[in-house]
């Protein structure tokens, strides 16, 4: 049953002006996020997935800029807000978890103070009360003995513990949308599973919509309801997670899945995809994947495919699959 | 189950490192001692039964005695008490002027470094401009300004402490550039750090980010720079007083005590020796302290 989306992104464009011309690194990205659902966003390094996340919060670093599109939160376009209005949305309605929990925490503050700071920014909550709420939240994200840990500095905690602190910071205002940019990439596998469980538990409790960004298809398959595959700034496939993993439509998705090592079959070394991500200042004509695609034909090198419906809630940008 | 936290807080670590730095710890002790004696000047004068102002022409250039532990000067005033009162003035000028420059410099550096762009260019050109000014002639002109014409109230202009306020203001006006450059450089780097990006993503505005997230990370370089500049200010005060443009007698400062002693250098060398050695010790102690703080607060800084 599709619910009313909380976040609607339409035709989002991020450009970087350089000496070699304007690179459109996020090009016409559109998607909806529904409460309590998780949307995975996967792609190789440099495909524009992190910039998509930053653009949602209006945080694209210069010289990059948001060149077009709308990001509607409950119908209100965030990109049209003033900086002060946007500050009121950031952290309270849309929160973000960063990849590296060590550098995303301020080294000179205790973690309790840092979690409390988010409340003080948004609620004007008095210090003592904010700290109490922060300690309670630390308990909820599974930090043992939160009262004592609240007085710890980031360097005194383990990586997994720090990521729990980041989650506590992100969730303390009970945001409607959580953007998680590679939240488990810096953690080892056992801790990774715990953090994923924690995020899903929080989601179930608060009904948060999650945009889960990762280059790790294995992780995405565990958490996402729907998955978007991004290539060179464009969404090339958008499907429910189960069908995407069992029957990928886009040749690029197929290539990514085939490159995964498997434990259930002996295949030798998984085939690597040939070539690399195209230069964003000199994209190939036609389909951006055409120069790496094993199925490419002449028409792929002249016409650029758009994201078309392929039935069963699936969307794909490929001339051969959905012309 | 309360497992002890591994490691200690940044402050505790810094204190431990500072204690290992013997020279700096000794310097700090010396400075505290000097400050305590200077602060206790009226009490010491009372105990000795003298004061720094009483002229005793019958007892000029007296040698050390129970009543005058360091003897008397050319007007029969007690040298020890005058040195201590002078220390009050010199230390006060050094500390307040260094603090005032640090405050101005931090403010300007933070704005320039965090906002960048045109504001940065404007503020840094201003800083370059001030650095390019020939300092001594400027100070001489500033010190010679008729404050009444600047519109200062008469009571202030006529106040005995006016030379003290004036020198603090002069030093602060030209002295903030070092801290401003230091803070700007550090703020430029901190601005790009993930935790600042995270704070923006949490909805903190620019003022909050500068004040809460960036400034505390700048504490160590600012403290070190301020300590070192306090020493420079004390030297500068001596120079200005020596030129007759600093603290005006009869208020004593180490600088003008030294000036006073120059014509008596042959007949009573001790009068020049005492303020000279105090200035030397204070400035060198402040420099050692600054080095020690640098090592203690920033363990990553390469040892020089």
Interface of A with B in 144-203 (CB under 8 A): 144-145, 148-149, 151-153, 155-156, 166, 169
| Contact state of A91 with B201 under an 8 Å Cβ cutoff | yes
Helices (H), B176-218: 177-191, 194-201, 206-208
Q: Specify the pLDDT at position B61.
A: 67
Q: Does B82 touch chain A (CB under 8 A)?
A: no
Helices (H), chain B: 10-20, 22-39, 41-48, 79-115, 117-132, 135-144, 154-157, 162-175, 177-191, 194-201, 206-208, 219-242, 254-261, 269-297
User: Which residues of B are less than 8 Å from A151 in CB distance?
Assistant: 5
Of B6, B194, B202, the CB nearest to A169: B202
Domain shared by A80 and A203, yes or no: yes
Query: For residue B120, what are its two tokens?
Result: 């940065």
Q: Using an 8 Å Cβ cutoff, are A100 and A119 in contact?
A: no
> Given pLDDT bands bounded at 50, 70 and 90, which one contains residue B5?
low
| Contact state of A122 with B203 under an 8 Å Cβ cutoff | yes
Q: Specify the pLDDT at position B1.
A: 39
Average pLDDT, integer, range B62-84: 73
Query: How far apart are the CA of B96 and the nearest CA of chain A, in angstroms?
Result: 27
Residues in chain A: 323
| A17 falls within a domain | yes
Looking at the predicted structure, is the pLDDT value of residue B107 above 90? Answer: yes
- If one counts every other C-beta atom within 10 angstroms of the C-beta of residue B186, the result is 19
Q: Specify the pLDDT at position B300.
A: 56
- If one counts every other C-beta atom within 10 angstroms of the C-beta of residue B113, the result is 27
Q: Does A88 touch chain B (CB under 8 A)?
A: yes
Q: What is the pLDDT along chain A (323 residues), one digit of tens a residue?
A: 456 888 899 998 898 888 887 888 888 889 999 898 999 999 888 788 888 888 888 888 888 888 888 888 888 888 888 888 888 888 888 999 888 877 888 888 888 888 888 888 887 788 888 888 889 888 888 888 888 888 888 888 888 888 889 888 888 888 899 999 888 887 888 888 888 888 898 898 888 999 999 888 888 888 889 999 998 888 888 989 888 888 888 888 888 888 777 666 666 666 667 777 777 777 778 888 887 888 877 888 888 888 888 777 888 888 877 66
Average pLDDT, integer, range B61-80: 71
Q: State the maximum Cα–Cα separation within chain A, in Å, rounded to a whole number.
A: 67
| Contact state of B199 with A152 under an 8 Å Cβ cutoff | no
Are β-strands A234-240 and A315-316 bridged in parallel, bridged antiparallel, or unpaired?
antiparallel
| A40 falls within a domain | yes
Query: For residue B134, what are its two tokens?
Result: 């020939």
User: Which residues of B are less than 8 Å from A100 in CB distance?
Assistant: 194
DSSP A284: P
Q: What is the pLDDT of residues B208-260, one digit of tens each?
A: 889 888 998 888 889 888 988 888 888 888 888 877 777 777 788 888 888 87
Nearest residue on chain B to A99, judged by CA atoms?
Answer: B194
| A78 falls within a domain | yes
Of A91, A152, A153, the CB nearest to B202: A91
Q: Specify the pLDDT at position B301.
A: 46
From residue B133, how far is each of A307, B119, B141, B168, B272 by CA, in Å? 64, 22, 12, 18, 32
From residue B173, how far is each of A30, B90, B98 by CA, in Å? 55, 18, 11
* pTM of this structure: 0.78
Domain shared by A302 and A217, yes or no: no
Looking at the predicted structure, is the pLDDT value of residue B297 above 90? Answer: no
| ipTM of predicted assembly, 2 dp | 0.80
Domain shared by A128 and A212, yes or no: yes
Is pLDDT larger for residue B54 or for residue B303? B54
Q: Does A122 touch chain B (CB under 8 A)?
A: yes
Query: How far apart are the CA of B199 and the nearest CA of chain A, in angstroms?
Result: 8
From residue B249, how far is each of B86, B132, B162 by CA, in Å? 10, 32, 12
Q: Specify the pLDDT at position B57.
A: 66
Domain shared by A97 and A11, yes or no: yes
Domain shared by A244 and A194, yes or no: no
| Contact state of A95 with B201 under an 8 Å Cβ cutoff | yes
| Contact state of B10 with A153 under an 8 Å Cβ cutoff | yes
Helix, strand, or coil here: B203?
A: coil
| A305 falls within a domain | yes
Long-range contacts of B154-162 (CB under 8 A, 24+ apart): B160/B251, B161/B251
Domain shared by A117 and A255, yes or no: no
| Contact state of A88 with B203 under an 8 Å Cβ cutoff | yes
Nearest residue on chain B to A58, judged by CA atoms?
Answer: B201
Query: How far apart are the CA of A57 and the nearest CA of chain B, in angstroms?
Result: 7
What is the domain count for chain A? 2
Query: How far apart are the CA of A299 and the nearest CA of chain B, in angstroms?
Result: 43
**Domain CATH number, residue A150:** 3.40.50.300
Domain shared by A118 and A96, yes or no: yes
Mean pLDDT of chain B: 81
Q: Does B62 touch chain A (CB under 8 A)?
A: no
Are β-strands A177-181 and A94-97 bridged in parallel, bridged antiparallel, or unpaired?
parallel
| A1 falls within a domain | no
DSSP A153: -
| A268 falls within a domain | no
Domain shared by A239 and A185, yes or no: no
Domain shared by A129 and A24, yes or no: yes
Q: Does A137 touch chain B (CB under 8 A)?
A: no
Helix, strand, or coil here: A38?
A: strand
Q: Does B130 touch chain A (CB under 8 A)?
A: no
Domain shared by A226 and A243, yes or no: no
User: Which residues of A are less than 8 Å from B219 in CB distance?
Assistant: 108
Domain shared by A211 and A300, yes or no: no
Domain shared by A112 and A154, yes or no: yes
Query: How far apart are the CA of A220 and the nearest CA of chain B, in angstroms?
Result: 23
Q: Specify the pLDDT at position B41.
A: 78
Nearest residue on chain A to B219, judged by CA atoms?
Answer: A108
Note down the domain range covering A106.
Answer: 7-231
Looking at the predicted structure, is the pLDDT value of residue B2 above 60? Answer: no
> Which among A213, A231, A249 is the end of a domain?
A231
| Contact state of B198 with A122 under an 8 Å Cβ cutoff | no
| Contact state of B202 with A121 under an 8 Å Cβ cutoff | yes
Q: Using an 8 Å Cβ cutoff, are B67 and B214 in contact?
A: no
Burial (CB count <10 Å: 0-12, 13-18, 19+), residue B265? exposed
| A275 falls within a domain | no
Q: Does B204 touch chain A (CB under 8 A)?
A: yes
Query: How far apart are the CA of A118 and the nearest CA of chain B, in angstroms?
Result: 6
| A22 falls within a domain | yes
Q: Which of B274, B248, B244 is nearest to B73 (CA)?
A: B274
Please give the Cα distance from B246 to B236 (Å, whole number): 9
Beta bridge partners of A77: A72
Q: Does A91 touch chain B (CB under 8 A)?
A: yes
Q: What is the pLDDT of residues B128-180, one digit of tens each?
A: 998 888 877 877 787 777 666 666 677 666 666 777 888 888 888 888 998 99
Q: Does B44 touch chain A (CB under 8 A)?
A: no
Please give the Cα distance from B78 to B49 (Å, whole number): 10
Nearest residue on chain A to B191, judged by CA atoms?
Answer: A61
Query: How far apart are the CA of A239 and the nearest CA of chain B, in angstroms?
Result: 29
| Contact state of B202 with A117 under an 8 Å Cβ cutoff | yes
A7: left (phi over 0), alpha (psi -120 to 50) or beta: beta
Query: How far apart are the CA of B262 and the nearest CA of chain A, in angstroms?
Result: 51
Contacts of A305 (CB under 8 A, 6+ apart): A287, A317, A318, A319, A322, A323
Q: How many CB pairs under 8 A join A and B?
A: 82
Q: Does B280 touch chain A (CB under 8 A)?
A: no
């Amino acid at each position: 049953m599709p619910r009313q989306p909380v976040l609607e992104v339409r035709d989002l464009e991020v450009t970087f002006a350089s000496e070699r011309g304007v690179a459109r690194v996020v090009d016409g990205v559109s998607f909806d996020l529904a409460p309590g659902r998780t949307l995975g966003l996967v792609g190789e390094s440099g495909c524009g997935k992190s910039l998509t996340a930053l653009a949602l919060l209006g945080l694209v670093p210069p010289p990059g800029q948001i060149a077009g599109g709308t990001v509607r939160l409950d119908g209100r376009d965030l990109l049209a807000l003033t900086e002060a209005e946007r500050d009121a949305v950031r952290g309270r309605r849309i929160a973000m978890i960063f990849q590296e929990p060590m550098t995303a925490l301020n080294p000179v503050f205790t973690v309790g103070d840092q979690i409390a700071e988010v409340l003080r920014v948004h609620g004007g909550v008095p210090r003592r009360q904010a700290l109490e709420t922060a300690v309670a939240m630390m308990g909820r994200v599974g930090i043992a003995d939160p009262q004592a840990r609240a007085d710890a500095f980031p360097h005194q905690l383990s990586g997994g513990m720090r990521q729990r602190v980041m989650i506590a910071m992100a969730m303390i205002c009970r945001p409607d949308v959580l953007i998680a940019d590679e939240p488990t990439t810096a953690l080892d596998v056992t801790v990774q599973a715990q953090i994923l469980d924690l995020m899903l538990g929080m989601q179930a409790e608060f009904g948060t919509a999650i945009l889960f960004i990762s280059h790790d298809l294995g992780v995405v398959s565990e958490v996402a309801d729907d998955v978007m595959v991004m290539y060179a700034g464009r969404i090339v496939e958008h499907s429910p997670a189960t069908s995407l993993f069992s029957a990928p439509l886009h040749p690029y998705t197929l290539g990514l899945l085939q490159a995964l090592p498997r434990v259930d079959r002996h295949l030798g070394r998984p085939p690597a995809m040939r070539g690399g991500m195209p230069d964003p200042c000199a994209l190939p004509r036609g389909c951006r994947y055409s120069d790496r695609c094993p199925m490419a034909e002449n028409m792929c090198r002249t016409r650029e495919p758009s994201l078309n419906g392929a039935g069963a809630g699936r969307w794909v940008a490929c001339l051969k699959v959905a012309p | 189950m309360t497992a002890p936290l591994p490691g200690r807080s940044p402050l505790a670590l810094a204190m431990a490192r500072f204690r290992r730095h013997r020279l700096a710890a000794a310097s700090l002790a010396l400075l505290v001692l000097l400050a305590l004696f200077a602060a206790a000047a009226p009490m010491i004068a009372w105990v000795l039964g003298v004061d720094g102002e009483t002229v005793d022409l019958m007892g000029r250039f007296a040698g050390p005695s129970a009543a005058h532990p360091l003897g008397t000067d050319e007007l029969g005033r007690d040298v020890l008490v005058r040195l201590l009162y002078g220390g009050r003035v010199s230390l006060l000028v050094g500390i307040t002027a260094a603090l005032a420059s640090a405050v101005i410099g931090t403010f300007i550096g933070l704005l320039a470094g965090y906002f960048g762009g045109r504001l940065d260019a404007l503020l840094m050109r201003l800083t370059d401009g001030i650095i390019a000014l020939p300092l001594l002639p400027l100070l001489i002109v500033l010190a010679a300004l008729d404050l009444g014409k600047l519109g200062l109230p008469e009571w202030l202009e006529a106040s005995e402490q006016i030379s003290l306020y004036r020198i603090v203001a002069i030093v602060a006006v030209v002295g903030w550039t070092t801290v401003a450059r230091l803070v700007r450089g550090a703020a430029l780097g901190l601005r790009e750090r993930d935790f600042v990006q995270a704070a923006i993503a949490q909805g903190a505005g620019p003022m909050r980010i500068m004040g809460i997230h960036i400034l505390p990370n700048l504490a160590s370089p600012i403290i070190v720079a301020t300590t070192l500049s306090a020493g420079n200010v004390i030297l500068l005060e001596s120079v200005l007083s020596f030129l007759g443009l600093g603290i005006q007698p009869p208020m004593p400062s180490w600088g003008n005590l030294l000036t006073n002693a120059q014509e008596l250098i042959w007949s009573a060398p001790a009068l020049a020796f005492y303020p000279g050695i105090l200035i030397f010790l204070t400035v060198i102690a402040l420099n050692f302290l600054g080095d020690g703080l640098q090592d203690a607060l920033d363990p990553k800084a390469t040892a020089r």
